[in-house]
Amino acid sequence: MLSRLAPGDMVTVTRIDRLARGTFDLFEIVKRIVDARAHFRSLAEPWADTGTSTGRLTIAVLGGLADVERDLIRTRTTEGRDRAKRRGQHMGRPPRLTAAQKAEARQRRVEGPTLAELARSYNVSRSTISRLSVKLTLGSP
C-alpha cells in the first residue's frame, strides 16, 4: 500500500496499534505517507490526523519520542550485552564443532581429505571447514 500512495490519498486505520507495533514503526510509516503527500488518520485516536495542524504537530512529537525510544533500546541492549560478557557468556550462535573436533579437522585437512569430505564427516558446511583451514594457513591455532 505504501508504495502505491499518490498525493491526496487518505490512509485511515481503526486504531494505531493496527498499523504499527511501536512508536518508531508508527513514525516511519506515517513519515512515508506524508512524504508521498498523502494523509493519515486514525478513527479511534482523533489526534492522529495529518490533515490538521494539531495532528501534524502530534506526529512530529511522536517522531522525537521514537528517536528517544530507539536510543533507549540501543542503550539497554548494549548494557545487557556488556553484563553477559562480564559473566563470561558466549555471544552469538554456539559453535558447530567442539575445540577437539576443530583440532582434529585441521589435522585431517593437512593429511589430505577435501573440504567437502571433512564437512560431510562432521555434518557441517564446507565453509565451516574452510574457515578452519584458513586459520591453519595463517598460523593460528
CATH of the domain at 45: 3.40.50.1390
Domain count, the chain: 2
Residue 103 located in a structural domain: yes
Beta bridge partners of 41: 12, 49
Please write the tens of the pLDDT for every residue from 40-65: 998 988 888 888 888 888 888 877 88
| Residue 104 to residue 97: CA distance in whole angstroms | 10
- Element at 26 (helix H, strand E): helix 23-35
Shared-domain flag, residues 72 and 31: yes
- The parent domain of residue 115 ranges over 99-137
Residue 54 near residue 62, CB atoms below 8 Å: no
* Ranges of the chain whose pLDDT falls below 50: 140
Which residue is associated with the grid cell 573436533?
Answer: 101
Q: In this predicted structure, what is the pLDDT of residue 63?
A: 77
Q: Which of helix, strand or coil describes residue 113?
A: coil
Shared-domain flag, residues 73 and 108: no
| Residue 139 to residue 112: CA distance in whole angstroms | 18
Shared-domain flag, residues 40 and 62: yes
Which residue is associated with the grid cell 528517544?
Answer: 68
Shared-domain flag, residues 27 and 76: yes
Residue 106 located in a structural domain: yes
DSSP state of 96: S
pTM higher than 0.95, yes or no?
no
Torsion angle of C-alpha atoms 69, 70, 75, 79, degrees rounded to 10: 100
Q: In this predicted structure, what is the pLDDT of residue 119?
A: 94
Residue 113 located in a structural domain: yes
Residue 93 located in a structural domain: no
Shared-domain flag, residues 114 and 70: no
Shared-domain flag, residues 18 and 71: yes
Shared-domain flag, residues 121 and 81: no
The separation between the first and the last C-alpha atoms of the chain, rounded to the nearest angstrom, is 54
Shared-domain flag, residues 80 and 113: no
Residue 9 located in a structural domain: yes
Q: In this predicted structure, what is the pLDDT of residue 133?
A: 66
Residue 92 located in a structural domain: no
DSSP letters spanning 32-90: HHHHTT-EEEESS-TT-BTTSHHHHHHHHHHHHHHHHHHHHHHHHHHHHHHHHHHTTPP
